[in-house]
Amino acid sequence: MALRLYTYWRSSAAYRVRIALAVKGLQYEAVPRHLLRDGGEQRRPEYLELNPQGLVPALEHDGHVVTQSLAICEYLEETHPLPPLLPADPLGRAAVRAMALAIACDVHPLNNLRVQQYLRGELGQDDATVSRWTRHWIDRGFVAFERLIARHTGDGRHCYGSSVTLADVFLVPQVYNARRAQLDLSPYPRLAAVVQHLESVPAFAAARPEAQPDAE
């Protein structure tokens, strides 16, 4: 089977999918789409044919296209179950999905490139205000996430239990964004400890932005 990932090195949503692919040991062709060049390559008509939302990532699998990072991860989980990225029991699966969604819904979209562009353009906000906005929503998310880790971690090195799950897959890229926004992680010690461990795991290291072919 042939896997092709439309990606951008700094996209944290693409970063999630790169981690999931690496954890499952799946080879893929990376097709970079530069989000800033020429007004954004993800907005070109031929890309909109693939993904009408005009966002990365998108995964092509034998000619079929899957979009939305969590839907892609669930697709990989269903088609390549091992190693699992979700627990076996429904309550565990729900807890892991809720952690992934707490980032995918309630943190990341608020700080996405297109939102920052709207705040600067249409609303005329300056860089300092946009940075404060960015840090505010990450902080709100991380305060809650810290409590979720306390509730669900098994070993202090993973968000849930004692192996890698989608909660870890979604947390690490958000921390990358948090560092870019110069957010101090010390108020979230459990979260910081989990990420420190995960960043040493080869699959996570291979997926990081700086290791991508289109890194600048």
| Residue numbers at the binding site for its own copies (CB under 8 A) | 48, 52-55, 64, 66-68, 70-72, 74-75, 78-79, 90-91, 93-95, 97-98, 101-102, 104-106, 108-110, 114-115, 118, 122-123, 125, 129, 132-133, 136, 140, 143-144, 147-148, 151
- Those residues whose C-beta lies under 8 Å from the C-beta of residue 62, and which sit 6 or more positions away, are 1, 2
Q: Which is nearer to its own copies, 44 or 140 (CB)?
A: 140
CA angle 44, 178, 3 (to 5 degrees): 45
Distance in Å, CB of 200 to its own copies, minimum = 27
Please answer whether residues 197 and 155 qualify as being in contact, where contact means their C-beta atoms are separated by less than 8 angstroms. no
Q: Which is nearer to its own copies, 98 or 193 (CB)?
A: 98
Which residues pair with residue 61 across a beta bridge?
Answer: 3, 64
Distance in Å, CB of 211 to its own copies, minimum = 26
Q: Which is nearer to its own copies, 144 or 205 (CB)?
A: 144
Distance in Å, CB of 113 to its own copies, minimum = 12
- Those residues whose C-beta lies under 8 Å from the C-beta of residue 38, and which sit 6 or more positions away, are none
Distance in Å, CB of 213 to its own copies, minimum = 26
How far, in Å, CA of 133 to CA of 113, rounded?
A: 13
Only one residue has tokens 């996570």, namely: 204
How far, in Å, CA of 200 to CA of 109, rounded?
A: 27
Phi-psi region of 68 (alpha: psi -120 to 50; beta: other; left: phi over 0): left
Distance in Å, CB of 62 to its own copies, minimum = 10
Q: Which is nearer to its own copies, 11 or 68 (CB)?
A: 68
Distance in Å, CB of 53 to its own copies, minimum = 4
How far, in Å, CA of 183 to CA of 192, rounded?
A: 12
Q: Which is nearer to its own copies, 109 or 161 (CB)?
A: 109
Q: Which is nearer to its own copies, 55 or 183 (CB)?
A: 55
> Taking each helix axis from N to C terminus, what angle separates 113-120 and 127-152, rounded to the nearest 10 degrees?
150
Please answer whether residues 47 and 6 qualify as being in contact, where contact means their C-beta atoms are separated by less than 8 angstroms. yes
